[in-house]
Structure 1
């Protein structure tokens, strides 16, 4: 009886329902032991903020709409939503002058769009992003997402809402998913919501999932009533559709050199794991899918580093001195900050560049650019500074009809060239007067990722990754641990924080801004300095 009462009192919001669809173990901790779940990092909090801002833009499509306040009294909130949708009369809110005033305002209003009205049915509770009246007494559900495409998990979200709303007594007409138009280009100071969004009718897809909602809720409630969390095997659900906060804890049992370290081998890794094969050394040769994975297996078996000196030598022979080691930092926002931009377009705000005359040059020159945190578009200043740094300044070239007569020399080394090349090409498109030198600079780029992405070198300490963050410590012993900023996402979020959320006139904020600017310079500087260290090690490997 006590168990039944506990289940009866448990309410699942749509966010908890979605968590349960992804992983019952995560849901159990979310409800029964939330303190065990690691807090959200800055990048996650930034994504949530982006979602909120996108939701505010969506409301502009319905200027006559009303926001339903929530957070204080759930019972009152539910009653207000019922009144606004005609499910009950204003008299149900009698007994408080404050509530009556709200009710009188509501009762005098025609059927209008509602923002975040709350409804509850059995053990479900949900707030619709937007509820739009459809004649004569029907309603459309609109779920707003900050993504640029529809995802399967969104359909579970909206089917849960429909279950809850119809159970509460609403008559639902259609279900829509509203997401960002990735091809939208901002043309004026304010975003045009009509062009910014795509609205897709997902009624039939939601209806297909609807019959399973109540049984899913029952499974979740039964599981939540257990004293200990369920034992769930690791699976693709650990990172799909979202990265699970418990992934690190759930995966800590895996030994070193486990099958999940296989280069580009997640699908194969789960197949092996489900067959009881956990370590790379246990893999049968016939299961290996690529030459890179074969090298990994050999390195794990022999517990030593793999080196292909011939291919490393050929790579090094392509380098032309002086060498420029270049790295960009960018930010991307769902809502374009400046005219001419698309949603989530990368905007470069920082670069670091080290230049050396020879591999033994200890007097390397460092050039860097970090945009001012004044909120203005940093791209033009970024381009002008980069132009000088890469040798295309007024003193080192002559321009005639857009042709470069005197071309600077020296290879430009980057790590994972598609990123920097894409940024440069977008800059050339936005600022065509700079296109000639940018195109020439692109022709000078050589990708330091190549020796590692093509497995000319592999150290088991890389854990199957050829990223700079894994290669640098494996090859040189230098790592990003202890850095205040240790990855590109953190750099982006911190720059946005000091640029759009802090007041440079406030003393405390100014001290924080100055610290973050120093941290950004240190982080980006280590990227380019680290590339020099890596290149020197490659020369040593060839010459040994």
Structure 2
């Protein structure tokens, strides 16, 4: 009889999400496609764990790479320093291996804590912590309390690496107790599944929750289907399901009386005709915008562990903006701001923004110009929220900052109401709209091509270990990306305003 297959906690959780995922991780790991988002989440989790450990100065970290050494170091720590917390305490029992974020002694035994970078306890955290507790108890550790330590997003960082108060500990003893009797069944089921052939499981909700599965491309390869499936209808999950149940997969085959909402009728009509629609009202709105026009876009960074005093966990801190100032038809002056020194960018960002959108540079040069023109953005709620936060932070700048919000014109609802092209495929995101109005407005081939890449470039740029040449290269790439965003807004308005 073959020996049972040993499992780690992460593999057991993979089984809980989808048995096929565990089988593929075990036998076909080369099929996994890990995206940059997953890597970023892991990196932020590592940073959160390091800060959590720093709050317990006398703790013992088990950092052995080898499993055997980690198990031995954990046993030694339990014997030699029984009054100190142990980080990454390693246990193996019932063919399952776990590493516990923190095991701290208490009067009755031990307090087990799992540290998470989220701002609340998630349902999948409960399975995670229950497995940890079950293995530790099976390894003769008297775990009398289990908790999740998560980020408190109301925490305001005072600076000087003072992170007391960053975490909230929530006891989950009851939820763990409910799961403990089930875990042996999870283990045996997982072992039986892995010992057999690849399971046949249809794709579904489990492919995306609680995590995006790296094997989705293998399990659900692209297949030939309609060029414009009914799935492109925006905000219509129930309608799409009903249409598919009635046998309609191709949007072009759906009867016209089956769609009630105007936005769905527009998508259906334009898709069937193959011709883009831009309303006369949309053209008039674009033409009536006064000069000067300020096309504006922000880039932000959000840290689970705040870096700058006065900021909160996951606060969107603006570090860059681009602004194309259209002084008159055909006369455009680009400007912008990028913080590249790693210091808190908010004050210099706010001051530069106020100067840019009031055309201060031009009035200082004696140009006769009314600076108070419209500030044009795409999806204004984001920029308005960042400006409001800056106004709250800097009362002396609040009046000027809030005046920018009052001048803001959101191009997204204008586009949604008045424009649609078949190749937008039900989306009015800027990156869906731009290719339909100009072939030169794509981001393909750019060193920084989206917001996530901009954040990664910014983090590398401000890292003191980054060589100067690389720092300059990243700075240039960030300017190119953000400048493209606002140039694209200018082109969008010009496209809307041109003669039919």
> Quick check: TM above 0.5?
yes
How far did residue 239 of structure 1 move?
Answer: 2.7
Quick one: distance in 2 between partners of 1:388 and 1:22?
52
1:517 corresponding residue in structure 2? 475
Determine the C-alpha separation between the residues in 1 that align with 2:102 and 2:370: 57
Corresponding position: 1:442 with 2:405? yes
Q: 1:191 aligned to 2:162?
A: yes
Pair 1:221–1:466, CA change in 2 (3 A): farther
CA contact (8 A) 1:295 1:306 kept: no
> What does 1:89-488 correspond to in 2, within 5 Å?
107-136=79-108, 138-193=109-164, 195-228=165-198, 230-249=199-218, 250=220, 252-253=222-223, 255=225, 256-266=227-237, 269=240, 278-281=249-252, 290-300=261-271, 302-305=272-275, 307=277, 309-313=279-283, 315-316=285-286, 319-358=289-328, 360-361=329-330, 363-372=331-340, 374-391=341-358, 393=360, 408-452=371-415, 454-477=416-439, 478-488=441-451
Deviations 1:312-337 (A, max 9, x none): 14532652222111111111111111
The 1-side partners of 2:255 and 2:7 are apart by 45
**CA drift at 1:275:** 7.7
TM-score by length of 1: 0.83
Greater alpha carbon shift after TM alignment, 310-319 vs 166-175: 310-319
Give yes or no for contact 1:163–1:210 (8 Å, CA) kept in 2. yes
CA RMSD of aligned residues (A): 2.7
CA distance in 2, matches of 1:281, 1:12: 49
Match of 1:98 in 2: none
SS in 1 for 2:336: strand
The aligned runs of 1:520-531 (5 Å cut-off) are 520-531=478-489
Gaps of 5+ in 2: none
Shift of 1:270: 5.9
Helix, strand or coil at the partner of 1:116: strand
Contact 1:392 1:437 (8 Å CA) reproduced: no
In the other structure, the counterpart of 1:80 is 73
Q: In the alignment, which residue of structure 1 is the partner of 2:42? A: 48
C-alpha separation between the residues in 2 aligned to 1:219 and 1:330? Answer: 45
Distance 1:388 1:537, change over 3 A: same
Distance 1:299 1:202, change over 3 A: farther
Normalised TM-score (structure 2): 0.90
Shift of 1:281: 4.0
Bigger drift between 161-170 and 267-276 goes to 267-276
3-state DSSP class of the match of 2:304? coil
- Cα displacement (A) at 1:271: 6.8
Q: 1:305 to 1:433 in 2, by over 3 A?
A: farther
The change in CA–CA distance for 1:25 and 1:171 in structure 2 (over 3 A counts) is same
Structure-2 residue corresponding to 1:400: none
Distance 1:537 1:218, change over 3 A: farther
Are the counterparts in 2 of residues 140 and 175 from structure 1 also a CA contact under 8 Å? yes
> What CA distance in whole angstroms lies between the structure 1 residues aligned with 2:336 and 2:484?
12
TM-superposed deviation, 1:382: 1.5
Q: 1:114 to 1:524 in 2, by over 3 A?
A: same
**Gaps in structure 1 of 5+ consecutive residues:** 86-106, 398-405, 504-508
The alpha-carbon deviation at position 408 of structure 1 amounts to 2.9
- SS state at 2:437 partner: helix
Change in 2 beyond 3 A, CA 1:291/1:221 = farther
Going from structure 1 to structure 2, the CA distance change for 1:145 and 1:446 (only over 3 Å counts) comes to same
Aligned pair in 2 of structure 1 residues 291, 81: CA closer, same or farther (>3 Å)?
A: farther
State the shift of 1:187 in Å. Answer: 1.5
Give the equivalent residue in structure 2 for 1:23: 18
Matches of 1:493 and 1:487 in 2, distance apart?
Answer: 10
